[in-house]
Structure 1
Amino acid sequence: MARIVFFIDHLRPDGTQQVLKQLVTGLSRRSHTLAVVCLDATWDEELIAILRKAGAEVRIIGRWNMVSGFGTLSLWLWLRHRRFDVAVTLLAVADVVGRPLVRLAGIPRLVSSIRARNLNYPPWKLFLAKTTMPLVDAVIVNSSHTKSWAVNSEGAPQEQTFVIVNGVEVDAYMHPIHREALRASLQLPSEQILIGSVGRLTEQKGQDLLIDALALLKRPDIHLMFVGEGNKETALRGQATRLNLSQQVHFVGYRRDVPQLLGALDLYVHPARFEGMPNALLEAMAAGCPIIASDADGNRELIEEGVSGWLTPVGDGEALARAINTALSNADEAAQRGKMAQARAQTHFSIAAMVEAWESVLLQHYKYNGVKHVFTQ
């Protein structure tokens, strides 16, 4: 079995870290020896506990240790001593720092994973990503749109760039809390409509568009619940206040009970400006939520317009408002699309298939694994 080390920028509980957790758990069950290197000293204790329980060694380096050179040197010595077979880099800093370090340490195989079209990269960051890309042996992306970006904008090798979609455990989303209990926790009457959106509060995720859509609807019976944290929270709160929506927009922070919350929503909305393949949207599908999503990248690979949800043009708050009104005005149709989304998640996006496909790339077994839309070049 292989000795595999993962490099990642940080271990906060975001989407890429969720995939890392699934991979470590799944690959450990296949008897591989695993380690995780966190380059920044920010982490979620529960996530680290899960990684270690799965058998992975976890090393926290810290930004200033890396900058001083001491952390870089000690990490290089550790890598040389451990003699890993495969290294994987996840996220921007891990790519730029990890790729040359892996090669200097003599690790035979290097795989990078690009999780989205990195439209927010400044030119210098994109330059560094492209400059270090020739060091990799293979690239894993999570949607076909991300593959095009990786090849054309970051210089990923066309023939060695593989699409492996994210996975979700549908059974974990089958037991939601009661609808009334969720509304009571927000101090809302039970008859109030509740729309949810899960994700980091950032420009990319487009929560501001959802607040604009709520303003256009002019319906005091509709409430928004944002699950997540991020650098745009203050701005989003200010936007809600300016639009006289502060009583209708609820910020509940990071929650560990998302699988139970989702099924108690009337509607899930994912208005991102760009995406790879969002775990939050997959989770809403697993919960059987009626879904509206922007027509961005991996979103449209998850949601079939008119079948398993509604897709709206990226960045269009007016179209978002119209779709919300349509979905809420057609409860039976919305419920049917939610059921279709859940069935699609169950059929096409299993964690077991994802782990198997990743293992194939990591170990150079490029044969298609027979699971539709999971492992393609």
Structure 2
Amino acid sequence: MQRLKVVHLVDDTTAGGVMRVLDHILTAPALSRDADHELRVVDRRAGLADAVRADVIVSHLAISWRLMPMLLSLRARHPRTPLMHVEHSYTQGFLAANVTYRRRFAVLLRSAFGLFNRIIAVSHAQARWLTQSGAVPAKKLTVIQSCVDLSTFRAVPPADGPVKVLGAIGRLDRQKGFDTLIQAFRQVKSADLALHIYGEGAEEARLRHLALGDPRIRFMGFASDPVRAMAAVDAVAMPSVWEAYGLVAIEALAAGRPLLVNAVDGLLDHVALGAVAVRDGAVDDWSGAVATLMAHGNTSGPTRAGHETDLEEVFATRWQDLLSAIRQGA
């Protein structure tokens, strides 16, 4: 059987979830059995200098009106090559929090997605929104939940006993909802509990101001070693305003850390693996969830994600099935 050459296009190589998932695709042995995966960085301003030589082209590009000329050129230059797009960003929560002109946004999504043979959603929740909103026909949509190598997180010693350190890990950005978490944490009057926030970003000054006067809240800086950061906390909170999937969630569960998530977008996918959803996401709701977590401790923590369900294997199988279907012309 001839090996497929799969070229993945990306226009933002900033360290983050997209690049970590791409690194996993490029290096996972299971994904290289029948295909050769390559990465090509695209200049948003210059576009594609020449045609992409590949059996399958996979876009990880950030869809926008400015990108449309490039996408039209990509389709025109490769009329017979299967084009796929992985949607890493847009969700129902993103729409609610960021989009003023919703009809215009809907036209953008339908126009851009219409240029691809297949759209890949990174969570089941995102897929439901994409189909229900009319952005993508169900027959054109595949769900492949994002993944990275979780083996080092599974090797982290379990956090038994009471929750003393609650961790928040991610960019200090409005999206992550750390402002809500800080306000909620300050309502929990316990000297035995600490909140450690790992990350950097534009919201840091504002978040530090919200935390002012509470010595239990510490800003730990960028987590250059996410495994070490996970090992240093007893539980993890993800109060994101929107989140297509959330790699921190599967890492926390793989490490056996209790996980609180906002009941939004792809974070809901993690409930089946043991995460606890904070249903309304308001400050008082998060305060109650943190207090409950403290009361119950880690003695009956979640099953480590990947012990009963090998998420990396599921990820590889979904990609292999999709590429097999493309090879067969489905």
Give the structure-2-normalised TM-score.
0.84
Aligned-partner residue type, residue 62 of structure 2 = A
- 1:277 paired residue number: 245
- 1:87 paired residue number: 57
Q: Is the 8 A contact 2:150 2:312 kept in 1?
A: no
Q: CA deviation at 1:233?
A: 1.7
Shift in alpha-carbon separation, 1:309–1:8, aligned structure 2, 3 A: same
Shift in alpha-carbon separation, 1:248–1:96, aligned structure 2, 3 A: farther
Matching of residue 214 in structure 1 with residue 185 in structure 2? yes
SS of the residue 2:314 aligns to: helix
Aligned-partner residue type, residue 314 of structure 2 = A
- 1:196 paired residue number: 167
Q: CA deviation at 1:126?
A: 5.1
SS of the residue 2:152 aligns to: helix
Report the Cα distance in structure 2 between the residues aligned to 1:327 and 1:199, rounded to whole angstroms: 21
Report the Cα distance in structure 2 between the residues aligned to 1:359 and 1:192, rounded to whole angstroms: 40
Matching of residue 7 in structure 1 with residue 25 in structure 2? no
Matching of residue 290 in structure 1 with residue 261 in structure 2? no
Report the Cα distance in structure 1 between the residues aligned to 2:190 and 2:218, rounded to whole angstroms: 15
Report the Cα distance in structure 1 between the residues aligned to 2:131 and 2:72, rounded to whole angstroms: 20
Which has the larger share of helix? Answer: 1
- 2:224 paired residue number: 256
Matching of residue 350 in structure 1 with residue 318 in structure 2? no
Give the structure-1-normalised TM-score.
0.74
CA RMSD, 1 decimal:
2.8
Report the Cα distance in structure 1 between the residues aligned to 2:165 and 2:294, rounded to whole angstroms: 10
Q: Is the 8 A contact 2:163 2:235 kept in 1?
A: no
SS of the residue 1:7 aligns to: strand
Matching of residue 312 in structure 1 with residue 281 in structure 2? no
Q: CA deviation at 1:122?
A: 5.5
Report the Cα distance in structure 2 between the residues aligned to 1:19 and 1:265, rounded to whole angstroms: 24
* Identity score, percent: 22
Q: CA deviation at 1:349?
A: 4.7
Q: Is the 8 A contact 2:246 2:267 kept in 1?
A: yes
Q: CA deviation at 1:103?
A: 1.0
- 2:288 paired residue number: 322
Q: Is the 8 A contact 1:272 1:314 kept in 2?
A: no
SS of the residue 1:221 aligns to: coil
Q: Is the 8 A contact 2:223 2:229 kept in 1?
A: no
- 1:137 is aligned, of 106, 109, 117, to 117
SS of the residue 1:204 aligns to: helix
- 1:33 is aligned, of 33, 36, 39, to 36
SS of the residue 2:146 aligns to: coil
Matches within 5 A, 1:30-109: 30=33, 32-39=35-42, 61=43, 63=44, 66=45, 71-72=46-47, 75-77=48-50, 79=51, 82-93=52-63, 96=68, 98-106=70-78, 108-109=81-82
Report the Cα distance in structure 1 between the residues aligned to 2:130 and 2:55, rounded to whole angstroms: 24
Shift in alpha-carbon separation, 1:172–1:223, aligned structure 2, 3 A: same
Unaligned runs of 5+ in 1: 40-60, 180-190, 368-377
SS of the residue 1:92 aligns to: coil
Q: CA deviation at 1:210?
A: 0.7
- 1:146-172 per-residue CA deviation (whole Å, 9 max, x = no partner) reads 012222446223102011122343421
- 1:300 is aligned, of 260, 263, 268, to 268
Count of residue pairs the alignment pairs up:
313
Report the Cα distance in structure 2 between the residues aligned to 1:28 and 1:290, rounded to whole angstroms: 30
- 1:20-39 per-residue CA deviation (whole Å, 9 max, x = no partner) reads 11111137632533332334
Matching of residue 110 in structure 1 with residue 83 in structure 2? yes
